[in-house]
Amino acid sequence: MLLHKFPGVRRVYVMVRRGTGTDSESRFWKSVVTAPPFDPLREKYGGPERLAAFIKQKVVVVDGDITEP
- Angular region, 49: left φ>0, alpha ψ -120 to 50, beta rest: alpha
* Amino acid making up residue 43: E
pLDDT digits (tens, 9 = 90+) for 23-41: 999 999 999 999 999 999 9
First to last CA, the chain: 28
Predicted pLDDT at 13? 96
The Cα 45–Cα 4 span in angstroms is 11
The answer to whether residues 1 and 50 touch, using CB atoms and an 8 Å cutoff, is no
Q: What is the pLDDT of residue 35?
A: 93
- For 23, the 3-state DSSP assignment is coil
Q: Is 0.75 surpassed by the pTM of this model?
A: yes
List average pLDDT for each run of 10 residues in the chain, which is 69 residues long.
89 92 94 92 90 94 91
